[in-house]
Structure formats: C-alpha cells, structure tokens
Structure 1
Amino acid sequence: MATPATKSLGELDSGARPHVMFIPSAGMGHLLPFFRFIASLAGHDDDVDISVVTVLPTVSAAEADHFNSLFAALPHVRRVDLHLLPLNASEFPSHDRDPFIVRWEALRRSAHLLGPLIAGAAPRVSAVITDVTLTSYVIPIAKELGVPCHVLFISCATMLSLNAYFPLHLDKKKKAEQHEQGLAGGIGDVDIPGVRRIPWSCLPQPLLDLNKLFTKQFIDNGRENINADGFLVNTFDALEPAALAALRDGKVVPGFPPVYAIGPLRSQQHSNSAAAEVEKEEDSSPVAWLDKQPARSVVYVAFGNRSAVSHAQIREIAAGLEASGCRFLWVLKTTKVDRDDSAELTDVLGEGFLERLQLGQHGLVTKAWVDQEALLKHPSVGLYLSHSGWNSVTEAAAAGVPLLAWPRGGDHRVNAMVAVSGGVGVWMEHWSWDGEDWLVTAEEIGKKVREVMSDAAVRARATRTGEEAAKAVAEGGTSYRSMQQFISTLKATGHSDLIQPLH
C-alpha cells in the first residue's frame, strides 16, 4: 500500500504514458544502482510514470534512509510498500545466515504477493524492472500478467555472462560426467564463450558448494534470465567490449535478451533530499580535511557497505597505511549490517593510532556515512584502496581515480579482472579474501600503496578510462543511446494490450 506522503497507485490519471514498476532487492550495493537508475530515468524523460516497491522491514538503517531520500527528492515517484511474510533464519544452516542472502530468500518466498500489486495498479503497469536476485520468481509472475519484465543487473557484464552461463556449465559437466577431483568439488574453471575463462578460485565462494542457499538462488535466476525482456547493466561499452558483444551476439547463451549498457550510473543533482543534506553536513569533516590536502595525494580506503574485515586485518591495514607515508582517508566498517556497528575506533585500531594521526595531520578515519562518489571526484584523492564491489569500480572509473583492488568475496574477483582489463586499476591477486585465515601484512600493504600511488602509467590508464566513461554518458555516447533506446521500448509497451488477469 502507499504511504501517506505519496499518492496511491489508484489516484493516478490513466493514459498512454508507460508506468514502470521497480522491484529492488536488499543491500546498499543493490539499492544504490536502482536509486540512480530511477533518478536517471526520471531525468531523461518526464513522460514515464514510476513506482517503486519498498520491501519492509528494511535490513539496515542506511536502506531506510535512502528510500526516504529517494521519495523526498522525487515526489512524483510512487511508493508501494510490500510487507514480507515471516521467515525464520534459524531454519537455514549457519553458513547460510548472511542477513542479505536470507533477505533475498524471504523476498523470493513473498514474491507471490507482487502479483496483486502489479495487477491492481492504476494506471496499469506497462513494464516491471526487477533485481537479478528475484528473477526466477518475478519473471514468471510478470509473464502470467502479460507485462514485460526487464532486469537491472547491478554487477558487471562479465558477471552477467557468468550468471547466464553457469547453469549451462553445470549441465555440460553433468552430461559429460566430468568429476574434477580436488577442484572445488568438481565445479572447475568456467570458460564463458566469447568472454573469458573464470578460474574456480575467482568464483563467488558459495558457487563452489551446490548446496549453499546463494548457489541455488544463483542457478535458478541464471536459468530464468533467458525469459527476461531485457537487461540493464551498470557498465559501458569501452569498459567491457568483449562481454557485452558476446551477450548481445548470443555467444554466451543463444537467444539471450537485449542488453543495454547504461553506465556508469551516477547520482543525480536533483536526487538530494533534506535527509541527504543532513548526511552531507555530517560528512563536512572528511570533505574539509580533503580540501586541505595537495592534489592527488590522498589514498581513499573503503571496503563497501557489507564487507566486514577482521579486526586483526584492520590493524594490519592501519599500520600499512601509516607506514606508506601517504595521506589517507579511511571509511571504516566493522560489521555487515550498520545497526550492529557499535565498535569504538580506538578499540578497533589500537591504542595511540588515532592520536598519531591527529598529531601528524596525514590521515583521517571515520565511521560516518560519506558520499563516496563525491569524495572520489575530489582533486586531493589519488588512489582508491577498495574491495572492488561493482559500484566502487564504476565510481572509480567515472572519476578517473586508480583502483587498488583487494577483493573480499562475492563477485569482487570477477570485478577486479574487469577493473584491470578496463584500465581502472591494479589487482593484488594473492591478497586474502573472506574465508581465508591469514593476514596481509602491514609491510606489504604499505609497500603496494606507495608503489601504485607513484605509478604514472596506472594513473594515465585510469584517466583515459574516466574520459571514456564521460563520453559514454554524454549526449550521443554509447550509454546515452542505450538509455534512449530503452525508453523508446518502454513507450512502445505503454500502448500495448491491457494487463492479463491472474489465473
């Protein structure tokens, strides 16, 4: 149902304008691309009705704040609340209790509630855009209703090719009765036609175990992808030419739906709300500190919204940054869910570290929310030490800032491959990631930070990639044209037959 601050779907004027209903998932890494795409669509064309399914309760305070900011900034965007059915996380094995993977499963099990929301909307829904984590449930519902269903894929095109091809890879291995003993239970490397070979060591860790909840979701969604009406991907042609060409030409999966490269998605000027302004005020300290630093002298350090690094590794990072001799701004996170992040900086970083920073004025550590996109564009930032989540890769690419990739889990190693091949940065392939119980030492971290900060060739490649990113989204660019093509598709569906009744 609609919140009091927004119009209900039944209050809308009917007409030929296409009405697009967005169905995002959970986790800020998934939500931010949705928010940016919604703002971009609203900015490109005001002749499109937009509604957004808001899943309640949200996993984190950050999610709730960003939803509120979206609706405050874009009052013509309608909010449709979906209250999840109860799900007891204890029914899953302990290794499947990641709060976000559990949320995706709760969404999938409540997906049947979307049918009445879509069918009952007025004006009628002419297209649905869903998160890839929900495709195996949402696409069949949309098809039954006769509504086109597009997927906003929040990772790279290379990862999309893996998601689409992985079920075929498993089928081929089963058919050939290949059992590669010792290689991650027989999963082996995945050689994606027309794209690249993904070593098994670079696959998202859960995919190495076919019994994991995430793996089952991944396979189900991958099989259903072929039935989507199109994929919107937060990338651009110059960054992933091979993967995009292979998907579009049907080399990965014959007959794959149209793929629109619409990135890098960026925050829109008008998307700021009163809530966001308060957050920016809280961020004035990091920005003010950056303003005092020389050009390209600061290493920005952040490992994403859900990548928690162990306290022991955090202390090695701290010592390494200090030993590097480089200025740094570190946005530190110690838990996967923000409401659980109550650790004091002094306890995490060790006695004396913050005091030395204050005296030397060459570093700043914060746990506050920051506008990462804006920080990366700050002239003082010269390097980004990152987990290589896809939002972070595209933000670094757009800013022309070199990325030092330290993948932590999930799609991060696949993203790091793209970051290297696309000229965004460099990847320390032997550095540890989630599940490995050894530490990267302070000495190695400090040495690598110094090395990349002084590497003119790395910086030049990142600058060129930034220029290509700017060309892509500028009028006439590849991503701009893809967006226009997609909007034309939406408008064509706005005049199609009436929605089919639910059976």
Structure 2
Amino acid sequence: MSLVSSSMVKPQPHVVLFLFPAQGHSPPFLSLATRLHHYWPGLTITLVSTSHHTSLIRSFLPLDSRLRLHSLPFYPADHGLPASAESLADLPVAQFITFFKATETLYPAFDDFISSLVSNASNHAPLCIVTDFFLGWTVDVARKYKVFHTTFLTMGAFGGAVFFSLWLNLPHTLTESDRFTLPEYPEVVMDRSQLSKYILEADGTDEWSQFFKRQIIFLHETDAIVVNTVEEFEPLGLGMLRKTLKFPIWPIGPPLAPAHQPSSSKSEDETAIMTFLDSQPPASVLYISFGSQNTIPHEQMMHLAQGLEGSGCSFIWVIRPPIGSDPRGGFRDDWLPHGFKDRIKQKHIGLLVHGWAPQLKILGHRSTGAFLSHCGWNSILESMSHGVPIIAWPVSADQSFNSMMLIELGLGVELVRGPMESSGPTKEKVEEVVDVMMEPNEKGMEIRRRAKEYRDVMNKAWDEEGGSSMESLQQFVQSINTAAGNQ
C-alpha cells in the first residue's frame, strides 16, 4: 500500500524531532521517526537532543539507519547538578525540577540549529518541528522561523489532561475536602491521595508550578498534538484534550518495539530470565518493575518482598536501590528481608534483576500472568499490547491518573492509591492483591479477559487499511505538507 500522495512530489519536509533527555521519553519519538521513515522515505528526519542523549539514541539505531542526529551542548554542572547527570535517570526526584529548568537553557543552541536549516534548506524544503511537552519553549523558535510546530505528548491522553488541569489550576488548594473535581472536567473526581508531594506542596509560586505552567501555556500555542495512545483505548482522555485544546489532536500509539537494543545495555541476566520463564507454567509469573527512573522506599521494599514470599507466587523483580540511596550505586542485600534472596532461589520462585531487563520479551512470554507496575505510560502500552493485566503501584507524575483509568476500564487492580511516600502497602495487602490477580478467581479471570480484548485493540490500530493510529499518522503528515505550502 502506498501512502505517498501526489502532493509529496514536491520537495518533502525536513522533520526535526527534539527529544527530552529522559529514558522513558525516547521510545515514542524513535517509534514515530521509524514509522515516518518507513511510510514516507523521502522525508528528511533529524533527531535532536543533548550530546549524551544523542549518543544513547545512536546506540539504539541500526547501523544502516538513515535517521540523522544533532547534538546540543548541555553542561549539567553549570546548573548545580552532577556533571554526569544528563538524564533524569541519573538524579533523585528532588532534583528533577533543577534538571527541567536547566533544559530551558538549550534555547540558543536549538535556535541556531533551526536558523541554519532555514538558511541552507535545499530546494526550499520546508521544516516541521516536533518536540516533547517538556520542551514547550520550542514553539517560540517555530514562530520565529514560521515553521509548523507539533507537540508530542508521550504520556497518555487522560493522564495528560488531568496533569495539565492540576498544575494549571491547583484545584486542591481551593478546598478543605480530600475529594475535589477539575475545573475543565467536572466529571473527573480526584482524591488528595492521588497527588504527588510536589503538587500537594505547590502554591503557584513554587518552581514546579512555574515550570509546568510555562509548558502548558506554550502547549496552547502549538499547531497540533500527536499523542502516544490509541483512539479506541482512550476515547475519554482524548475527548478531554479536544475539549480544551482547539487544534488537531492525533493519537499515534502504541509505539513500535525497538528494532535494536544496544549490547552495552543488555542485562547479564537475560539468559537467566528467559530460562526462568521457560520453566514456569503459563500465566503464573508476576513481573515487577518501577521503570527506568523510579524506585520505592526501603520499608515498602521490605513489605513487597514479604508479601511476595507470603503469596507463594513466582515473580521476576527488576529492583533498584531504595529512595534516598545512590540510584547508580550497588544493591545491598540488607534492603530485603534476611535470607529472602537465598530462599526464593532455593524454591525457584523468584528472580531479582539489577539494571536493564528485556521488558517486551518478558511481557510477551506465555508464563507472564501480570505486571506489578508504576503505571508509567510506556509500560502500560507495552503491557496492554501483550494482553497482560496490571497491578497498579504509581510512584510519581501522571502515574496515579493512568492507574485511575486502568481500574475504571477493568484492566488491573489497585495495590497503592497514590504516589505519596506514606501510601505503601502492608505485607498482607500485597498478598491479597497478588492472589486476586494470579490465583483462579472470578475477578482475576475477568480482568485477564479484558486485557486480551485490549491487546487486539492495540494491534488493530496500525492496520494499513482503517487502523486508527495509521489514519492519524497520515493526517499528521498531510498537515505538515499543507503547512509546507504556506511557508
């Protein structure tokens, strides 16, 4: 099937994708770049980020990739950050806001890059800038050079809509009640327990509020939004965004599985992981991961381990040092119950993984029955794409709102209500929830059935004939070309 229209005989646009330097933000951008190149090979596509991050991106690309890379100089130490902190994964959450603000200083270098492209554009090939929500200031650069600007929302539609409303309005500060509604969406009822400590402590003048308000204001100035979601998966969330943002919004998820995994990132335990899964009965293993940059407090880590052992469920746990420890430091056995590691090894019921794990392979394995997740958006899409239900333990950002949506859709069970540090589960709660999801019972069976239904929804989104995400991508490229005629 050819997707190239007659209008694309003209010089085709140069699409510049500006990636925010955070691990979880990269896969959707790489997926978008790969799909654009596959269906419209005449497009020139350049991936832009900080020097360190572009090196990481390069390691994910095949050697014969035609995608271009451009690095922007970035010096974390100039902003009071560790010199090696070139990604959120290198920092504790308390320093995220310093990192967010530091990336705003990339403006001059990005402006120079776009200026050079405009000046040297061959055959008058037009530009399109696609950037992360966290890099909202790029809309000013786009306006300066009269180029089409699109914001890529790497979070979900519902989570994004709630996130924007909370930071823009701080509605919880206007009431004494624990429960409140959102000004733009009165049908959405929130609870304080679902808010991060940074929103709870916000008063509108703090650094977090000021940063996110700037990005939301910029968001209202963009020409269009592409969202890493699926129309049939998030009709409510997409409807909320379309209610408040008066320009095209195109869902283009779920992302492609990465075509290449850098050897330097492969876990030494990958063979052991797959061997362990191969030895387990179908749908019997609980996969546990809090994502690439999240962890939990020591006490909650203890309770989780005790609950897992008490449940008797087989599990694979991707584990990082607890909150307050060096995120890049080694893991100490005394952060877990005494003898826990030896017992699960002897009984062959558990596997602890330090560092990177092949998440897509784990989720796609017949033995994986559920995913205890922080509810990061990439993890949700990957889990749903494989029909694996979720036990929700949100930690930060939009994760509580993603959890809300999953529970409403009947695709998971709630273990922890919100990302407050005091909201961790007891050993007994872990056992109870794991049993509901992993043992034969009516509720667990229904959740698993619904997860399989949504797997089919995800897979159909990219059908070349009538797939909703395929159609959205076509509309996005058509808009780039329409805008190109006006440049």
TM-score range, shorter chain: 0.7 to 0.9
Between the aligned residues of both structures, percent identity stands at: 25
Matched letter for residue 477 of structure 1: G
| Alpha-carbon shift at residue 140 of structure 1 (Å) | 1.1
Q: Does structure 1 residue 75 correspond to structure 2 residue 62?
A: no
Equivalent residue number for residue 244 of structure 2: 252
CA distance in 1, matches of 2:462, 2:189: 29
Counterpart among 317, 342, 347 of residue 330 in structure 1:
317
Aligned to 1:228, the other structure's residue is in SS state coil
Equivalent residue number for residue 110 of structure 2: 114
CA distance in 2, matches of 1:371, 1:165: 35
Equivalent residue number for residue 208 of structure 2: 214
Aligned to 1:239, the other structure's residue is in SS state coil
Q: Does structure 1 residue 458 correspond to structure 2 residue 447?
A: yes
Q: Does structure 1 residue 88 correspond to structure 2 residue 79?
A: yes
| Alpha-carbon shift at residue 44 of structure 1 (Å) | 2.9
Counterpart among 257, 264, 283 of residue 254 in structure 2:
264
State the TM-score, normalized to the length of structure 2: 0.86
Counterpart among 449, 462, 465 of residue 473 in structure 1:
462
State the TM-score, normalized to the length of structure 1: 0.83
CA gap of 1:389–1:354, structure 2 versus 1, over 3 A, is: same
1:154·1:233 contact (CA, 8 Å) conserved in 2?
yes
CA gap of 1:278–1:29, structure 2 versus 1, over 3 A, is: closer
Equivalent residue number for residue 149 of structure 2: 149
Matched letter for residue 458 of structure 1: I
Equivalent residue number for residue 488 of structure 1: 478
CA distance in 2, matches of 1:203, 1:487: 37
2:150·2:226 contact (CA, 8 Å) conserved in 1?
yes
Aligned to 2:266, the other structure's residue is in SS state helix
Matched letter for residue 69 of structure 2: R
CA distance in 2, matches of 1:495, 1:314: 56
2:413·2:433 contact (CA, 8 Å) conserved in 1?
no
For these two proteins, the number of residue pairs brought into alignment is 458
Moved more, 394-403 or 113-122: 113-122
Aligned to 2:473, the other structure's residue is in SS state helix
1:295·1:380 contact (CA, 8 Å) conserved in 2?
yes
| Alpha-carbon shift at residue 494 of structure 1 (Å) | 4.4
Instruction: After TM superposition, list the pairs within 5 Å mapping 1:410-489 onto structure 2.
Output: 410-428=397-415, 430=417, 433-436=419-422, 439-454=424-439, 455-475=444-464, 476-489=466-479
Counterpart among 361, 383, 393 of residue 406 in structure 1:
393
| Alpha-carbon shift at residue 278 of structure 1 (Å) | 6.6
Q: Give 5+ residue unaligned stretches, structure 1.
A: 1-14, 498-503
Instruction: After TM superposition, list the pairs within 5 Å mapping 1:7-46 onto structure 2.
Output: 16-46=11-41
2:24·2:378 contact (CA, 8 Å) conserved in 1?
yes
CA distance in 2, matches of 1:337, 1:120: 44
1:263·1:479 contact (CA, 8 Å) conserved in 2?
yes
CA distance in 2, matches of 1:116, 1:337: 39
| Alpha-carbon shift at residue 207 of structure 1 (Å) | 2.7
Task: Write out per-residue CA displacement over residues 426-445 of structure 1, whole angstroms, 9 at most, x where no aligned residue.
Answer: 22354x63432x64211210
| Alpha-carbon shift at residue 97 of structure 1 (Å) | 6.9
CA distance in 2, matches of 1:53, 1:359: 48
Instruction: After TM superposition, list the pairs within 5 Å mapping 1:42-81 onto structure 2.
Output: 42-58=37-53, 64-65=55-56, 67-73=57-63, 75-81=65-71
Matched letter for residue 471 of structure 1: K
CA gap of 1:337–1:444, structure 2 versus 1, over 3 A, is: closer
CA distance in 1, matches of 2:350, 2:378: 24
Matched letter for residue 111 of structure 2: G
CA distance in 1, matches of 2:265, 2:109: 35
2:230·2:252 contact (CA, 8 Å) conserved in 1?
yes
Task: Write out per-residue CA displacement over residues 398-453 of structure 1, whole angstroms, 9 at most, x where no aligned residue.
Answer: 111010101112111101012123343222354x63432x6421121012101111
Aligned to 1:446, the other structure's residue is in SS state helix
CA gap of 1:125–1:367, structure 2 versus 1, over 3 A, is: farther
CA gap of 1:181–1:196, structure 2 versus 1, over 3 A, is: closer
Equivalent residue number for residue 129 of structure 2: 128
Aligned to 1:257, the other structure's residue is in SS state coil
Q: Give 5+ residue unaligned stretches, structure 2.
A: 1-9, 82-90
1:194·1:242 contact (CA, 8 Å) conserved in 2?
no
Task: Write out per-residue CA displacement over residues 312-368 of structure 1, whole angstroms, 9 at most, x where no aligned residue.
Answer: 211211111111111101111226899843233523224311111121111111113
Q: CA RMSD in A?
A: 3.0
Instruction: After TM superposition, list the pairs within 5 Å mapping 1:157-236 onto structure 2.
Output: 157-166=157-166, 169=169, 180=174, 182=176, 189-193=181-185, 196-208=188-200, 209=202, 210-236=204-230
Task: Write out per-residue CA displacement over residues 94-140 of structure 1, whole angstroms, 9 at most, x where no aligned residue.
Answer: x99734432221111222321110110243661011110111x1111
